[in-house]
Amino acid sequence: MKKISVTVFVVLLFIVPLVGLIPGEWNWNPRLEATLGTTVAMICAVVLLNHLFGYMAGKAIAFQTGKRIRIAEFLISLPLFVPVLLLSFGLYLTWIRLGLADRFFGVLLVLLLPTLPYTVRLYTNGFQALGERMLEQMVLIEGNRFKRWFYLTGPMLRSTLQSVTLLVTVITISQYALVALIGGGIVRMISLEVFPAYSGNSQGAARLATLWLIGLPILFYAGQAVIFSSWIRIVRRRLNGSHDTTSQ
């Protein structure tokens, strides 16, 4: 009974505040259409780069020791200690010289600052949980890197992959100052619609944008849950087929 009460309390704690966000009239804001497209594209790009760089860096750091590794870990974690907005002012001047200011790619690179350190740490912990011996056995089982990742490493790092995707999605869509500064108002994301709407008189538009702000991480998490479930089923089917063939 106590567990049920705690569960109900926690659920209500998160759901009740959302009731006030439901708009009285569902009037579609035409500005949200282009904004949502840019936001989804940015999330996908940032998540992909985080997985790519985080996987390589986390694997390299997980089983190494020494002064160089500690320095590398410190440099990777530096954006967590220095305010990202402070770094962005310096990057903005550099981005202007490189022609990356007010561009999608420029905003994409800047959004790696608040997300990549967490990704590297998550992958490092994931590889350490697997253990170096387990990775060595995977190499003996499957020599092809892609097949080894698809059938062995990826499924065993499923929780890490899901955590990275969800965390990066939430951080990306919640960045207002970085997107406003580097994007210059040209690269528009959902966060740029939410904050001005609340400071103005368009409460309906603000509520609708907030619902999208909350709903996008849920949609991405649900989507990746479906993808991972299908992935695991494919791997199990292939492995069971290989086992049956070997037994015969």
Q: Which residue has the higher pLDDT, 142 or 164?
A: 164
The residue ranges of DSSP E strands in 70-151, in sequence order, are none
Confidence of residue 97 (pLDDT cuts 50, 70, 90): confident
With both helix axes pointing from N to C terminus, report the angle between 132-141 and 116-130 in degrees, rounded to the nearest 10: 80
**The tokens of 142 are what?**
């499957």
Candidates 193, 165, 209, 196; CA nearest to 21 is 209
Q: Which residue has the higher pLDDT, 197 or 104?
A: 104
* 69 occurs within a structural domain: yes
The type of residue at 4 is: I
Q: Which residue has the higher pLDDT, 27 or 221?
A: 221
CB atoms closer than 10 angstroms to residue 107: 28
Task: Provide mean pLDDT across the span 241-247.
Answer: 54
Rounded to whole angstroms, the Cα distance separating 118 from 124 reads 10
CATH number of the domain bearing residue 108? 1.10.3720.10
pLDDT of residue 248 exceeding 80, the answer is no
19: Cβ contacts below 8 Å, ≥ 6 apart: none
**The tokens of 140 are what?**
């003996």
Rounded to whole angstroms, the Cα distance separating 180 from 37 reads 17
CB atoms closer than 10 angstroms to residue 178: 23
Contact 116, 76 (CB under 8 A): yes
- Rounded to two decimals, the pTM is 0.83
Q: What is the enclosing helix (H) or strand (E) of 128?
A: helix 116-130
In this predicted structure, what is the pLDDT of residue 53? 94
Write the burial class of residue 162 (CB in 10 Å: 0-12 exposed, 13-18 middle, 19+ buried): middle
In this predicted structure, what is the pLDDT of residue 201? 63
* 24 occurs within a structural domain: no
Rounded to whole angstroms, the Cα distance separating 27 from 23 reads 9
In this predicted structure, what is the pLDDT of residue 89? 78
Task: Provide mean pLDDT across the span 158-163.
Answer: 91
> What's the structural domain count of the chain?
1
* 195 occurs within a structural domain: yes
* 168 occurs within a structural domain: yes
* 228 occurs within a structural domain: yes
* 15 occurs within a structural domain: no
* 205 occurs within a structural domain: yes
Range of the domain at 98: 31-235
Task: Provide mean pLDDT across the span 141-168.
Answer: 87
* 21 occurs within a structural domain: no
Largest separation between any pair of C-alpha atoms in the chain: 72
**The tokens of 104 are what?**
């999608």
